Every structure is written in structure tokens, then in C-alpha cells.
Amino acid sequence: MATSQRMPQPSSEERPRFVDRPPERFNDPKLNPYLIGHREFGPPLLTATQAATYYGRWHEAFGRHAPLHVEIGAGNGFFLAGFAQKHPEINLLGIEIRYKRTVLCARKIRNAGLSNALITRYDAWFLDDLFEPGSLSGLYINHPDPWPKDKHEKNRLISRWFLEEAAIFLREGATLRLKSDFEDNVARVPRLLDADGDGAPMPALPFQITGRCEDVTQGEGLWPDDIETNYQSKFRKRGLPVYAIELTRTGQAWPPEGWVSKHAR
């Protein structure tokens, strides 16, 4: 794997970045053992510091040019490893914030002998550290943390802000697939395409809704190549629905000229 310095990024002066815990803190025996474990695992697991060096050149991390797809909140890695196995033509990067889960994902990738999947410990609120505009061919979010209480609404990943970010990173024709056990995470998406979380009008985002399903645990679901995740199987076994929606990036430019998002960090 290449180790050269990260490429310069235009927004690096203006926006805070996700910071990896510094190596000198790793000697504290009270720290999570997976904090050290995730550093020592090696490929297919990239630390946050390593991942950020691949901005603009992810093909080097994978060792080949292929469409780059990303799963956010990869959890135990069932989707990541399963989808990469079903799609050898793509490079699939998992992003997961919890140390132990990155190790579980990495083990699944390694045990399956996959060379087209990687996992990194990174924070999904900082995707602009990792990706150039228009560089992603697919984005997958399976059961994002629900934060159901109103007072925690600002913590929800599925937000106007996140959809604006997705509009920047996804190329024309790329799809965003979302599955959630929390109905509002899916129900709010159509509203957020042209309004903010409070319902105030916003410029229409460059997405078409190309699929919607009230329960992917029943019948044929929404995608023939879908993979059941750990959380998804828990809800299916309890007889509870898993909602899903698919957005496809249109060719419309984003952001509109002269418009400054109030959601920018």
C-alpha cells in the first residue's frame, strides 16, 4: 500500500478535520483493546490517518482502478464483505466509527479473501476529508443510529446536511441506498430533497427517488443484490419492518451557483 502524503484539498483551511487519537495515548492499559488492535491489524483495515492520505487516489489503496463505492456505519461487516463478494467489479470502502467493529469488518474481509474491500475507522460527518467531489459511484447506509428523541434530532446522519454532502460526492447516475428500522429516517428523505429539517424551502437537491419499500424483510425487497445486515436480521426476527429508499444522482450541478449552504460546517 502506498504511503505518500495526502493531496492538497481546497477546503482544508476552512473546515475542521476528523483527528485520530495520537499514538502516544495508546499505552494507557485502560483504553479499549481494540483501539490498539485496530492499529495493528493492517490491511484491509486503515486507520483514520492512513485513510486521509488516500484522498483523490483511492485506487492506490485498492491496488486497481474500479468504481469506488462506500458503506457508512459498516457495523459487523456483513454487508461490506457480502456486497464486495457479489460485486468484484467495484472497490468498496467501509466507514465505521467504533474500533471493535472495524476489526470485525476487517476479519470478515480477510477471511473471505477479498481484495476489493477495505474498512477504515472514520467519522461519517467528515467525508470531505476522504473524497473528491463526484468521486463516488455508490453510497450505502444500513440502519444508521436512529436518535429517535426530538432533542437528539441534530445527531441524525440522515439530514439535509448529509444529503447535500452526498450530492457533492456522488457522480451522475450513482445511487444512494438507505435502509432503516426507524421509519422517519426514510420518510424524511423526500421532504429533505427541497427543504431543511424545519421545512424551510431549500434549493432542490440533484436526486431522483428511484426506489422505495415499506419493508425489505418481506417479499423481494428493493434490491436483488441486497445483503441482510446484523441489525436488519434482528428486526426481521422480531417481525418488525425495515424501510428503504433509493436516490439516484441526476446530472444537475450541485451546489447551485452563488448559493452557500447554511448547513456547511
Ligand X SMILES: C[S@@+](CC[C@H](N)C(=O)[O-])C[C@H]1O[C@@H](n2cnc3c(N)ncnc32)[C@H](O)[C@@H]1O
Residues lying near ligand X in the complex (CB under 6 A) are found at 72-75, 95-98, 101, 123-125, 142-145, 229-232
- Would you call 226 a catalytic residue per the annotation? no
We find the least distance from the C-beta atom of residue 122 to ligand X, in angstroms, to be 6
For ligand X, the closer CB: 156 or 249: 156
Residue closer to ligand X, measured from CB, 53 or 232: 232
**Cβ 179 to ligand X shortest distance, Å:** 7
User: What secondary structure does DSSP assign to 78-95, as a single string?
Assistant: HHHHHHHHH-TTSEEEEE
Helix 99-111 to helix 33-41 angle, to the nearest 10 degrees?
40
In this complex, which beta carbon is closest to ligand X, that of residue 25 or of residue 234?
234
Q: For 212, which DSSP code?
A: E
3-class secondary-structure state, position 195: strand
Residue 96 vs 128, nearer CB to ligand X: 96
Pairing of the two strands 136-142 and 117-121: unpaired
Other C-beta atoms closer than 10 Å to the C-beta of 52 total 20
Could you say which of 123, 145, 184, 196 is catalytic?
145
DSSP 14-58: TS----PPPGGGGG-TTS-HHHHHHHHH-TTEE-HHHHHTTTT-H
Q: How far is the CB of 200 from ligand X (least distance, A)?
A: 25
Least distance between ligand X and beta carbon 44 (Å): 17
DSSP state of 162: H
Q: Give catalytic residue positions.
A: 145
